[in-house]
Each structure stands twice: as structure tokens, then as C-alpha cells.
Amino acid sequence: MRSACRVVISVGLVAALPLFAASQQTTAPQGRHWSIVVHGGAGVIERPDLGPKGDAAYRESLKKGIEAGAKVLDAGGSALDAVETVLKMFEDNPLFNAGHGAVFTSEGKNELDSSIMDGSNLKAGAVAGVTHTRHPISLARAVMEKSPYVMMAGPGTDAFAKSVGLEQVDPSFFFTEARWQSLVKQLQKEGKPVPPRPVGAPPPGAIDPVAFYDEPGDSRSHGTTGVVALDRSGNLAAGTSTGGLQGKMPGRVGDSPIIGAGTYASNQSCAVSATGSGEYFIRLGVAREICNLVRFKGMPIQQAADQVIHKELEDLHGDGGVIAITPDGQTAFSFNTPGMFRARLAEGGKLEVHIYKDEQDANQ
């Protein structure tokens, strides 16, 4: 009798195997397509201020940046690698308020902030007040991967960067004449003392690659750079890098290095990078708030981003914008300012590069 039972059970198991295999096959993860979204800051960015040369220069810079990130993803690279690759380019581009081209504090110095987050495991790294490290985004990643911490600030941050082999530069490396003159104009307008020209800065009158960009409103203050990406493994990542607020008090830190405010990524919801009036983004926890609406309320990413930017942020009289992406490849731009430097590209799709509010985004 026991022998017969064994035969029946064995036959039953064998018969069930094809069904089990079929079930496993239908529920296995399907191949994913990569996608990437970038921004170069939001603010009072209008056509007359940029002019034809400025407009073309920013579009080309956004295009080159996003194509570099796409190349990483198309070769099977990680979302983290793509984010870092693009932001390093932006940090070296004097058009953006990050790295070389960052705005100055009221004392005439550059204090750089950056953060990065891995959506696959919620690991994150952030730095604030960086003054000697060429690429703050690489330093933020080093904090995440090579230290037990999430955030570092002040002189010890640059010392850590040096200890892990990241390139160090003289603070004058970050100087651009256009940013300096913008600071001088602001301080004079506010009746505040103008600090001495930074040691090591090129002499006045030197050729400046952004001389055509004639201080469009407050966009110089809100020129933060950011990237969100989805790789073929289905992992998300986000990163943000900035010089902060023009004329800020030394030591001021905005939302860019604050995980959950200016940067957030989780494979369970979305990845977000923000730009704008940092104090408001911190108070709202903008990046995490958007992801919570996606995860817990099931909102499409565009709706979630618009809810936070056009309702919650505006209710506080805050300004700025976000870029966002979900694990299934939905992407979004949302901003409540006249413009935001932005671009997106999905595998097999068409590149979008926009600046002004009246330009039509494909998903909107």
C-alpha cells in the first residue's frame, strides 16, 4: 500500500513539474529598458535672458550629458554609474551651478553640496561644504561605499576625499567670472560688502565661457544639477550636485545633500532629484513625499510630482522643480518656475531637451 502511494505521489509530482515550470516562466522578470532624466536647475529662465547663444549652449550641454549617461546604461552599466557619469560632466561645465561654475557665498567662496542614492538597497551618501574636491558627486558616492556614514560636512569631508584618492583642486578651480560678477551685483544691490577677489582667480577681463548668460533672474541661485536613472537590471538611482544659493551665509546647506528632500531613490517607488528653494524642499521632504504618493497611493509619477510641486510646494510659496522616474520606466518633469533645464531619454526612444515652461514635454 505504501509502495502504491509512493508511485501515485511520484507520478503526481512529475505531472506537476511542467505546470510549475510554466508558472515560474510566466512570473520571471522580463527584460527591462533603461531610461534616464537630467536637470540643470530651475528658476526665472526666459528666452530674452539666455539669448540664442545661451539657449544653444545649454541645450548642447544637456544633450551631451544625457547621452554620456545613456551610453553607460546601453552598455549594461548600473544606474549609479550613469548618475555619477553625468553629474561629473555637469560639475566640470561652467554653465551649471555645480563644481566649476558654482555660485559664491557672501564671503566669496564656493561651498559645494552633493548626494547620491541607490534604489536597490536604500544606501546613500551625501556631502556638504566641499571646497577642494573636484567632483563632489564622486565624494558622495565614496561616503556611501567606503565609509560607515551617510553624510559628511565641513573640512573633514575633503580630507576623507583625499584619503580615498579623489582628485583635489585649489578652490580657485571652481571660479568663473560670470558667477563672480553676479555675486558682486547682488551684494551691491543689497548694500552688503563685496569680499576681496578670490586668491588664484584669473584677472578681471579674462575670457569667460558663460559671458553671454546675462543673469536671468534668480536662476543663478537655483542652478542645481541632478540625474535619475533606471538600468536594465531594474534598479533606480538618483543624484544631485550644487553650489547652493548665491550669496548664502557660509555654512548654509540646502536640500541637495539631504536624503529625502533633494534626492531619493527606492526600487519600491521612484527616484527623484530636486532643484529650487532648498529650505522649502527640506520642510516638505519633497523627494520622499513624491515617492510615497507613488508607493502608497498608487499615483502615476507625473501626478505625484505635480501634486507636490504645484500644490504642496506652492502652498508654502516655494519655487523649483523635480525630475523623477519609476521602476517601470515612467518619467516626469514638474516645476513651478518659468523654466527648468531638462532632458530625458529612454532606450529606443527619442531624446527630449527643453528649457522653458511653454515647451511641450512628451509625457504631459
Of 333, 303, 338, which Cα lies nearest the Cα of 321?
333
**Spatial contact of 323 and 39, defined as CB atoms under 8 Å apart:** yes
**Spatial contact of 246 and 98, defined as CB atoms under 8 Å apart:** no
Judged by DSSP in three states, 104 sits in: coil
Q: Is the dihedral of CA 296, 274, 89, 249 positive or negative?
A: negative
Query: Quick one: cell of 329?
Result: 520606466
**Spatial contact of 284 and 297, defined as CB atoms under 8 Å apart:** no
**Spatial contact of 245 and 282, defined as CB atoms under 8 Å apart:** no
- Dist CA 88 CA 38 (whole Å): 13
What letter does residue 353 receive in the DSSP assignment?
A: E
Phi, psi of 135 (to 5 degrees): -120, 95
Q: Is 27 a catalytic residue?
A: no
Helix ranges restricted to H, 46-114: 47-74, 79-91
Active-site entry in 85, 105, 176, 224: 224
Known catalytic residues are: 224
